[in-house]
Structures are given as structure tokens and as C-alpha cells.
């Protein structure tokens, strides 16, 4: 079943279960588990473990922290629509300038596909990062699937080839690699009606992550690369009149980060039992080795599997692509992914 949402603001947090119509709740009532899937790249779900650690009241604070690190209109290449070769003139006229929302989605570890126990008191947080375009709410859709059990059906391994660049993002849909076609064939051969595909980095892989987002060249090759080199770069751009070069003055850099990042995080961090001195140490390490401390980007993603045109297939939104990100070179020319297909009954 599909739920349509109308965002109340550009940044919004919705407890999804409370938005379900009564007929949806009745239909899902006999299922102990639910899968939630978003078709979007600037709106999605918090991982259940993170949402539980924060608690529903702290999730807006977490979103505010991401907004602080990725301010709207901070000179992102993705927002320079005149340079976007993927857009024609008509598309440029309506395309939102939302690089900050994409980066917040990736850095914040948001997910397009999650599962939760279907019980009262279980909060399902849908985080909206770009809910308005030209003053009008965007249309958002979430698919909800109830199930009783999840069973492993098949597993495989896929190696992703990489260049020798230390900072790189790889679109797993890129036809040159054939990876996405292999995943679709893997799903089709299993013949399941509905399920999900878990794609995870091998345990030995370091300095890498996975996400599902839009693989637009300027966003991936310029904005994301800049963040991997310096996570506070775009935040600093908002303060250049006062701090022309925060990295040149480490004391000022730490003070600036405390006021504009830690201050926003503090109430959420209290929930996690962290003290300000610990936060200072983490921030200091972030400034010294930024890529290694890149927020909460994830080591695995889930992709929805359902029937399409009479056969099992991967279901994705128009702009969604699974993406492998690395911020240090691997000792091998490939990175290993473990793929697990599960059936939902």
C-alpha cells in the first residue's frame, strides 16, 4: 500500500505510523513487521537503531545539525543549474537547488528502505530534507508492506572496480560495470514475489560506504568530493566574512565548529550520554582527518524487491542509484560487496 505525504516545510520530521489511515492500520494489523520504502533522494528514514538512540523528540535536533553543516545555498556545484548537462531548458526552470539536502541525506545515514516491528509505540521517522519547491509542497510517496517473516533466499559476492583515485564515488547502475544488471538477474532468478536486497561492504573494507541517492555528476564529483575532503567546508562558507580560513587557525576552527555544530547537536548527544569534552575530541579529530569521521554514512543499503511487468525486480525511484563511496584508496583495485536476497512472507 502507498501513502502520500504533503510536507509542512522544507525540513520536516513525520512520525509515519501516526499518518496511516485507519483502513491501512486495519490491513496491517495482523503483521508483526512492516517494511517502509521511499522513492526519494532527499527524504527517507533514519536507521532504526539511530532513531531509537535519539528518541522521537531528538530527531529534529539531529536534522537541525545536518542543516547547520550543509546550509542552503552555500555555493554547491549541483545548484549551478546552468552547468547541469542532465537538464534541458524546461527542467532548469523548475529544478530545485537542493544539493544541501542530498548531502545531508548521505552524511546523515538516511535510508530509503527500513523495517520496523508493527506495534504501538514504535516510532517510524520519515525525514524530509527538501519538502518545498518555489513555496509549494512537493509530493512524497511511501510504500508500506506488512510481513510475518523474512527468509534468506540467496547470496552472492560482487567486486566493484575502482580507479586509483583516493576519493571516488561509483554509480552501481553504471552500465560499463554491469553490476546493476547482475543484481537484477540475481533477483529475477530467485523468483520471489517480494523481498529486499541487502548490499553490504565486506567486513575487511575500510574507508568506504554505501548510499542510495542521485548520481548527478556535479553533486558526486564536486560537492560530495569536497565534503569527503573537508566535512565542514560548506558550513565554513557561511562564515567566511568572520573566518576567512578556519583551517589556518585551528583554535578558531574548533571554536567555530563548537558554536555552529556542537551547540545544535548537544541535546541529541545528551541522549547518547556524551559529554562536551568528548565532543570536542571528536571534532578535533574530524578537523585533523575529516574523511575518516564522515558523519553516519553507512556500510550497507537495502533495495526493495517486488514484481514488475510480471517478474521480480528491483524497485527504485526515478533518481535513485546505489552508490559506493570511498575516501581513501583501497589496497586492491576492487572493493567487495556481499549481496543477500531475502523473501518477505
Checking if the pLDDT of 264 tops 50, the result is no
Q: Is residue 142 part of a domain?
A: yes
Instruction: For residue range 298-308, list pLDDT tens digits in order.
Output: 999 999 999 99
Give residue 252's pLDDT. 45
Report the number of distinct structural domains present in the chain. 1
- Reduced to 3 states (helix: H, G, I; strand: E, B; else coil), residue 303 is strand
CATH number reported for the structural domain that contains residue 224 in this entry: 2.60.120.460
Give residue 239's pLDDT. 57
- Reduced to 3 states (helix: H, G, I; strand: E, B; else coil), residue 173 is coil
18 against 341, higher pLDDT: 341
Q: Is residue 284 part of a domain?
A: no
Structural domain span for residue 133: 2-231+290-344
Q: Is residue 299 part of a domain?
A: yes
Checking if the pLDDT of 313 tops 80, the result is yes
- Continuous H helices in 29-86: 48-54, 59-69
Q: Is residue 283 part of a domain?
A: no
Instruction: For residue range 63-72, list pLDDT tens digits in order.
Output: 998 898 899 9
Mean pLDDT in residue range 134-139: 92
Under the banding of pLDDT at 50, 70 and 90, the label for residue 325 is very high
Mean pLDDT in residue range 207-226: 95
Instruction: For residue range 103-120, list pLDDT tens digits in order.
Output: 999 999 999 999 999 998
Under the banding of pLDDT at 50, 70 and 90, the label for residue 211 is very high
Percent of the chain residues past pLDDT 70, beyond the cut: 83
Within 10 angstroms of residue 185's Cβ, the number of other Cβ atoms is 11
Give residue 238's pLDDT. 63
**How far is 59 from 65, CA to CA, in rounded Å?**
10
Q: Is residue 258 part of a domain?
A: no
Give residue 229's pLDDT. 83
- The rounded mean pLDDT for the chain is 86
Q: Is residue 50 part of a domain?
A: yes
DSSP state of 203: T
**How far is 254 from 51, CA to CA, in rounded Å?**
28
56 against 250, higher pLDDT: 56
Mean pLDDT in residue range 189-201: 96
Q: Answer positive or negative: Cα dihedral of 71, 100, 91, 222.
A: positive
Q: Are strands 140-147 and 300-308 parallel, antiparallel or unpaired?
A: unpaired
Instruction: For residue range 1-54, list pLDDT tens digits in order.
Output: 999 999 999 999 999 999 999 999 999 999 999 999 999 999 999 999 988 888
Q: What is the pTM of this model?
A: 0.86
Q: Is residue 277 part of a domain?
A: no
Checking if the pLDDT of 205 tops 80, the result is yes
* Closest by Cα among 14, 203, 50 to 126: 14
Give the distance between the most distant pair of CA atoms in the chain: 61
- Give backbone dihedrals phi and psi of 115, rounded to 5 degrees, phi first: -125, 150
264 against 29, higher pLDDT: 29
In DSSP terms, 334 is beta-bridged to 161
Mean pLDDT in residue range 153-172: 95
Q: Is residue 250 part of a domain?
A: no
- Per the listing, cell 568572520 goes with 242
* Closest by Cα among 108, 161, 164, 159 to 328: 164
Instruction: For residue range 227-245, list pLDDT tens digits in order.
Output: 888 887 888 776 553 445 5
Q: Answer positive or negative: Cα dihedral of 223, 224, 225, 231.
A: positive
DSSP state of 111: B
Give residue 308's pLDDT. 92
Amino acid at each position: 500500500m502507498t501513502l502520500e505525504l504533503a510536507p509542512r516545510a522544507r525540513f520536516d520530521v513525520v512520525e509515519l505510523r501516526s499518518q496511516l489511515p485507519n483502513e491501512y492500520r486495519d490491513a496491517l494489523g495482523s503483521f508483526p513487521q512492516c517494511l517502509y520504502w521511499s522513492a526519494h533522494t532527499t527524504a527517507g528514514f533514519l536507521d532504526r537503531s539511530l532513531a531509537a538512540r535519539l528518541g522521537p523528540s531528538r530527531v529534529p535536533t539531529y536534522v537541525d545539525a545536518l542543516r547547520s553543516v550543509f546550509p542552503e545555498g552555500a555555493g554547491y556545484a549541483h545548484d549551478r543549474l546552468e552547468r547541469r548537462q542532465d537538464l534541458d531548458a524546461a527542467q532548469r526552470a523548475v529544478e530545485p537547488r537542493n544539493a544541501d539536502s542530498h548531502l545531508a541525506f548521505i552524511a546523515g545515514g538516511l535510508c530509503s528502505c527500513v523495517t520496523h516491528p508493527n506495534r504501538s509505540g514504535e516510532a517510524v521517522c520519515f525525514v524530509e530534507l527538501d519538502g518545498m519547491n518555489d513555496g509549494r509542497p512537493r509530493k512524497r510517496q511511501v510504500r508500506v508492506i506488512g510481513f510475518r517473516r523474512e527468509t534468506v533466499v540467496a547470496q552472492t559476492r560482487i567486486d566493484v572496480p575502482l580507479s586509483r583515485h583516493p576519493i571516488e564515488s561509483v554509480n552501481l547502475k553504471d552500465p560499463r560495470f554491469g553490476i546493476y544488471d547482475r543484481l537484477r538477474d540475481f533477483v529475477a532468478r530467485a523468483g520471489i514475489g517480494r523481498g529486499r536486497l541487502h548490499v553490504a561492504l565486506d567486513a575487511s573494507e575500510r574507508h568506504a560506504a554505501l548510499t542510495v541517492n542521485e548520481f548527478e555528476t556535479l553533486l558526486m564529483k564536486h560537492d560530495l568530493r569536497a565534503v569527503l575532503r573537508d566535512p565542514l567546508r560548506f558550513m565554513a562558507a557561511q562564515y567566511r566574512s568572520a573566518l576567512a580560513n578556519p583551517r589556518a587557525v585551528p583554535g578558531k576552527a574548533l571554536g567555530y565548529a563548537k558554536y555552529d555544530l556542537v551547540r545544535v547537536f548537544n541535546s541529541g548527544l545528551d541522549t547518547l550520554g556524551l559529554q562536551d569534552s568528548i565532543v570536542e575530541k571528536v571534532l578535533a579529530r574530524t578537523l585533523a582527518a575529516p574523511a575518516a569521521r564522515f558523519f553516519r554514512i553507512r556500510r550497507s543499503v537495502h533495495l526493495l524487491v517486488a514484481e514488475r511487468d510480471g517478474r521480480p525486480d528491483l524497485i527504485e525511484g526515478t533518481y535513485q542509484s546505489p552508490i559506493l563511496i570511498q575516501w581513501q584508496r583501497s589496497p586492491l583495485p576492487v572493493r567487495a560487496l556481499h549481496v543477500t536476497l531475502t523473501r518477505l512472507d
